[in-house]
Structure 1
Amino acid sequence: MRRTLSARHDRFALTRPFRISRGVKTAADVVTVAIGEGDVVGRGEGVPYARYGESIESALAQIEAARDFIENGGDRRALLAQLPAGAARNAIDCALWDLEARLSGESVASMIGASEPERLASALTIVIDAPEAMARAAAEVAHAPLLKVKVDANDPAAQIRAVRAAAPKAALIVDPNESWDQTLVEAMQPVLKAAEVALLEQPIPADADDWLESFKPLVPICADEAVHVATDLWRVGGRYQVVNVKLDKSGGLTAALELAHAARWAGLGLMTGCMVSSSLSIAPALHIARMSDFVDLDGPVWLKEDYPGGVRDEGGLLTPPEPGFWGTV
């Protein structure tokens, strides 16, 4: 039976501005893909990211270019050669996983030989602001087990200390989003250690990290922008201690699973991350999260309105979607 494919731009307003070192957003702009076979439809979502040269328009164009391939029965493995890693491939790949689960009556968890996702700790993000404002934001969620602290190069020490003072028991991930340089990374080591930061995420530009080969950090450093798919590990393996697996970078759950397993084989720690997105992006990422040391899937927490039946955050503990939402029957 011939399939049908549809794709559209969806926008989800945020409850408050999401501010990081490279800009501010007030809405989550995503591409939503639906692939149908008879009366059964699978769904997937991708979030184009300007940092990687993506836009809503470019993602929709890539999806349209793959239409004949998908509608004529192309599968997830062959899709890896049809489209580059990125948001467009992610949306299609996840829709194919969902469709396969619904047609077969077998959940995605069962297909990959894993248990169904369970409630887990997921970071709540403290966005860039004045240190006192970040302290107030941290105090409101100080009971959460894990906080992610967005910083830039403008006095990050004060921001980190303010958050730590307001949330003395939470584990902290510090994320400069490539805004630091070697000098600042080296200078911040005692601050990070004193604040008991658990992880420093991509502090420097991904194309300027060669010096990390000989650097001995006091806090583990996680590759985010520096690693997208499994073949990137040959370059980053000696520079970072942890890799952040995001489906929008890897181009779907299929490639994300490959990256996660390869990273573990290489002896690297794992983090699961996301863009600001709906629960439709988060549901497949939970299958990477169950393997991970750090989980950062609070994208839907920022939305004014998410899909019914999606993930729920309760004090930094993320509950999976209701049965039938994605990847289950």
Structure 2
Amino acid sequence: MAENNNNVQLSKTTQGLINDVSHFFPGDVEVQFIGNLKSGYVRHDQAQVVQDGDRLYVQINDLTEPDFTATHELLHLLMTLRGFPQIYFPLTSGDKQLDEQLMYMGTELYDDVCHFVVYSEQRKHGLVDERIEKEYVKGVRQTITPESGKVDDEMPLRLVTILDAMIFLGDHFDQFADVFQRSFPISLKAAKELYAMLTEKPVDSPFALRRDVVKLYRDFDKQMKKWGLPPLQLNDFVMMTAVFSKRQLGLQVKQVFNLYHSELKETKTGKRAYVGFTKSDDQNSFVTSGPAGKQASEDYFKELYSKTVKELYQDLRIPYLLR
């Protein structure tokens, strides 16, 4: 249902998606409109999802395209509720500002991959037309400044934003290519390379989503290094839901994971963290801190390594997905 003080009429498609989310979520799902702003462009920060007990609120703070904005958030929610991998931030560098930057970029790149599913569904439902494409490109111009001809600190944001534009516009990108070529030639060249990598295989399953996010984090860092900018190391910083086969769940931890003592600390405990990287893709898949003291620590990890993967995830209370 929609809570509506702005006389905004949501389409049947949007109402249908609210019902789809309600089917998977045990409580109430509402779309709320906050304020009367109409900026004339569309951007992802025009809505947020807030959970209050057994209620989910999709709050929209820009009424330029309420159906597009609402369905965008609802489709992200649907992916979460239907068991696509999620990202978590259990680690801290000790530098709040750096943590926030890493969390922002980690989320934006993760969302870029999710958008292969989200934008495709929105187009399928007739929620993207020429007007919305123009408003989206206008939103890009509101998010990033034109390049000055050389690499600067805004390059990571430009790259993630233009990559998303390529995913959103798809076959229609050529109609706007001159806008990007004129203002963002360096970022556009890099975005094309990342886009080519991401479109080699479709994002058609939870496993495929995880595979592409892991690759995108890694290839994004390669681009940062080419530009002489510091890599983000999101494969280490971001924990992502692991996807196992039934066979893997029965294997010992040491057969599936490499465990490293990280320079980062566990946010919850403030202790130095141990990070479990899946051997198959070298992605952070669980975080633990273990006990203090050399002997206690050694015993703890000996025991941990001999557990099955299923036992470990049950003990740590970390969700995982089955292939």
Q: TM-score, normalised to structure 1's length?
A: 0.28
Instruction: Return the structure number with greater strand share.
Output: 1
Q: TM-score, normalised to structure 2's length?
A: 0.29
Higher RCO (CA-CA < 8 Å; seq separation 6+)? 1
Structure number, greater radius of gyration: 2
Instruction: Return the structure number with greater helix share.
Output: 2
